[in-house]
Amino acid sequence: MSTKSKGPIIEKSLLPLFGMNFLDDHARMIITDPKIALVELIANCWDAGANRVDITWPDPAPAIMEIKDDGTGMTYQEFVDRWRELNYNRRSVQGEDVIFPKDNQKSHRKAYGTNGKGRHSMFCFANEYLVETWRDGIANHFTIKRSTALADTPFQIIPGVSYSKDGHGTVISTELVKNYLEVPTVHDLIGSKFVIDPGFHIYLNGGHVELYNLEHLSDLKIVPVDNFGNITIRCIDSRMTGRTSKQHGVAWWVNKRLVGEPSWKGFGEETYLDARTIEARRYTFVVEADLLADDVNEDWSGFKDTERFIAVRSVISEQISKRLSELMHDVRKAKKIAAVSAYKTDLRGLPLDSRYHIGKFLDDIQSRVTVIDGRVLEATVEVMSKLEKTRTGYALLEQLSKLDPNDLEGLHTILESWSIQEARIVLDELGRRLKLIKTLEKLVENPSADELHDIQPIFEQGLWIFGPEYESLQFMANRSLATIVRKFFKIDMESLDTSRRRPDFVALPDSSIGIYYQEAYDERGEVAGIGKVLIVELKRGGFKISRKEIRQALDYASEIRKSGKISGETQIVGFVLGTTLAPDAQERLQEGANTTIYPRPYSTILLQANARTFNLQRKIEEAKGKQLSDPEIEDVLGIPDQGKLFH
């Protein structure tokens, strides 16, 4: 006879429990910061389509606080459905737009709420609160209690009485027992967080609260942000408006509500002004960015780091910095004059061009570092003066003293034929070209080189390698044509850091492709489209080019032609560069009369590059090897001093 073992009784399902700190983690600042909590409660009234909000605020506490609005109100079922659901998605249920009461139709209004966390705001002031809400002739009462221990729900909803009541609206009230704010603080907070709207009025203890006015005298500018829309920037000068704004700094507004706090320190790393200066207390910038409605943090303390916000922030930062530079031109000029005056004796001994460079540096540093102190500028002048004196005087004398007599004679010959400026232009250009050749020599033959994609942009200045006609500065990289090739390879531009940094060339795992063009002109000398397209494809070191790669280059050249970006007469010339060429890739390929692809090994390209720079690379290396030296003296200099041997 078999026996069955008795085990523990297994429940059908085990429900999760909520810890007493769940709401603190879930709603965060909304139920811990009284300023955020109060603004959220008023925002709920806005979302309810209210025309009037009456706030009863105790003075002092503890006492009853109450927020009453004449919005749409809720039925019994609407309240239960919305209050019971955690992370209630307002937009999916009610839409993005505010729904107004039938007898109180207002202009279009965007709702602030997205996830329903704002309804927990009353828990910032007490662990229990009351709700009365009415519409369609019926009012309902509810008591909301926060769980203060481990429980199967973070809060309880206890239905109360129902009765007949005309109109519509909602009243939320509690005894304020924690996180009390003084009445003047509440008044200023409300007035600074919402913009004046003809259909929205707030009263505090019976007195009307004047909301922030964006329409008073200001300098307004509409700024476009590529791919996203327009942003409005207002520059307010308190001297011109006859009033002192309490929102000095940069204030970001979304749908008539302030995001975060106004500050001269932006949401990124930038700092526009030192808040202690007179100018910082004079100007205010208001950024109206309604297009960022989906990018605001849940508690409206700032923005999420979305692609859209980063793009907007970059444009706004540039615009504000530029405007401040214009507004503070006289201030910066005065600081500069004061700094220069302190060291005019030192500056007087410098040549004209050195004084120019110091002055330009002072302008640049004030433009970039808006909070720089006058004493720092003075120190900058002192240091720069010493550096310029060394660079232009003593250093030159020291260099001349070390020259061989034959070199001095050569320098004399050069200066008889060239001015310093002419010689510098020629040598700078040759220097850039020789540096490009040295870079290519190090990387193009190396299969493990990671810098392949960094070489491609250099070719924008190195097209001269392919022939005299490409010496022209008219050849430049083309982002639009590169996009066509990127689509040909089915590359998602956002998936590659290289594509985001340099969208004017195509980055592939084993190669990179640069697209360059030259404009065409008609008989009147007007631009008439693209006259010639140059394609440069760099293969990774060790890559052997076959006919397949040349054929592929013809294919995306064909895609460019089919795109309609160029005409049928536009010439397309391509170079596919690799370490070696396969037997089937020795000859160029043509498609029609105007498309030609040339395969080239890097060794040939380097020979061409050296030939076009008159083989100066080799000559310079040979000249360095011929420098004169005394072996005995060099040996002595290589022996450490006796005293130093024992330290």
Total count of domains within the chain: 4
Local structure of 371: helix, strand or coil? coil
- The 10 Å Cβ neighbour count of residue 408 is 11
Highest mean pLDDT among 106-110, 273-277, 544-548, 614-618: 544-548
Instruction: Return the pLDDT at 169.
Output: 93
Mean pLDDT of the chain: 78
For residue 174, pLDDT over 60 is answered with yes
Q: Domain for residue 13, yes or no?
A: no
Instruction: Return the pLDDT at 177.
Output: 92
Q: What is the CATH number of the domain that holds 167?
A: 3.30.565.10
In this structure, the answer to whether residues 474 and 582 fall within a common structural domain is yes
487: tokens are: 């689509």
144: tokens are: 């909301």
Q: Provide the pLDDT confidence category of residue 638 given band limits of 50, 70 and 90.
A: very low
In this structure, the answer to whether residues 284 and 334 fall within a common structural domain is no
Domain boundary among 208, 228, 248: 208
In this structure, the answer to whether residues 176 and 316 fall within a common structural domain is no
Residue 464 CB burial class (10 angstroms; 0-12, 13-18, ≥19): buried
For residue 583, pLDDT over 70 is answered with yes
Helix then strand count (H, E) for the chain reads: 22, 22
d(CA 12, CA 509): 54
Q: For 338-357, write each residue's pLDDT tens digit.
A: 888 887 777 776 666 677 77
CB distance 499 to 507 below 8 Å: yes
d(CA 145, CA 156): 5
Residues, the chain, total? 647
Residue 340 φ/ψ, nearest 5 degrees: -70, -40
Strand partners, 534: 516, 573
Q: Domain for residue 557, yes or no?
A: yes
Beta strand pairing call for 571-578 and 527-539 = parallel
Token pair 């003293």 is at which residue? 401
User: Which residues are CB-contacts of 263 (< 8 A; sequence separation ≥ 6)?
Assistant: 249, 250, 275
For residues 508-525, give the mean pLDDT: 82
Instruction: Return the pLDDT at 630.
Output: 38
For residue 168, pLDDT over 90 is answered with yes
Q: Domain for residue 631, yes or no?
A: no
Q: Which of 138-142, 281-285, 514-518, 631-635 has the lowest mean pLDDT?
A: 631-635
Q: For 76-98, write each residue's pLDDT tens digit.
A: 999 998 888 887 777 777 877 88
Domain boundary among 327, 346, 381: 327
Question: Is the alpha carbon torsion for 311, 314, 320, 323 positive or negative?
Answer: negative
For residue 574, pLDDT over 70 is answered with yes
CB distance 505 to 477 below 8 Å: yes
Domain boundary among 310, 327, 344: 327
CB distance 224 to 257 below 8 Å: no
Q: Provide the pLDDT confidence category of residue 55 given band limits of 50, 70 and 90.
A: very high
Instruction: Return the pLDDT at 277.
Output: 67
d(CA 594, CA 585): 20
For residue 473, the 8-state DSSP code is T
Q: Provide the pLDDT confidence category of residue 590 given band limits of 50, 70 and 90.
A: confident
Q: For 391-404, write each residue's pLDDT tens digit.
A: 655 455 455 545 56
- The 10 Å Cβ neighbour count of residue 427 is 11
In this structure, the answer to whether residues 446 and 368 fall within a common structural domain is no
Beta strand pairing call for 589-590 and 169-176 = unpaired
In this structure, the answer to whether residues 80 and 96 fall within a common structural domain is yes
Q: For 529-556, write each residue's pLDDT tens digit.
A: 888 888 888 888 788 899 999 999 999 8
Instruction: Return the pLDDT at 69.
Output: 93
Q: Domain for residue 620, yes or no?
A: no
Instruction: Return the pLDDT at 617.
Output: 66
In this structure, the answer to whether residues 493 and 543 fall within a common structural domain is yes
Residues above pLDDT 90, as percent of the chain: 15
In this structure, the answer to whether residues 367 and 453 fall within a common structural domain is no
In this structure, the answer to whether residues 367 and 346 fall within a common structural domain is yes
In this structure, the answer to whether residues 54 and 151 fall within a common structural domain is yes
For residues 607-618, give the mean pLDDT: 75
Range of the domain at 38: 22-208
In this structure, the answer to whether residues 80 and 134 fall within a common structural domain is yes
Q: Domain for residue 393, yes or no?
A: yes
In this structure, the answer to whether residues 471 and 544 fall within a common structural domain is yes
Q: Provide the pLDDT confidence category of residue 510 given band limits of 50, 70 and 90.
A: confident
Q: For 470-502, write each residue's pLDDT tens digit.
A: 765 567 777 888 888 888 877 665 554 455 556
CB distance 511 to 553 below 8 Å: no
For residues 105-110, give the mean pLDDT: 69
For residues 446-465, give the mean pLDDT: 69
For residues 289-311, give the mean pLDDT: 87
Q: For 368-389, write each residue's pLDDT tens digit.
A: 666 677 788 778 778 877 777 6
In this structure, the answer to whether residues 350 and 289 fall within a common structural domain is no
Q: Domain for residue 4, yes or no?
A: no
For residue 56, pLDDT over 90 is answered with yes
Helix (H) or strand (E) holding 339: helix 329-341
Instruction: Return the pLDDT at 158.
Output: 93
d(CA 647, CA 637): 19
User: Which residues are CB-contacts of 395 (< 8 A; sequence separation ≥ 6)?
Assistant: none
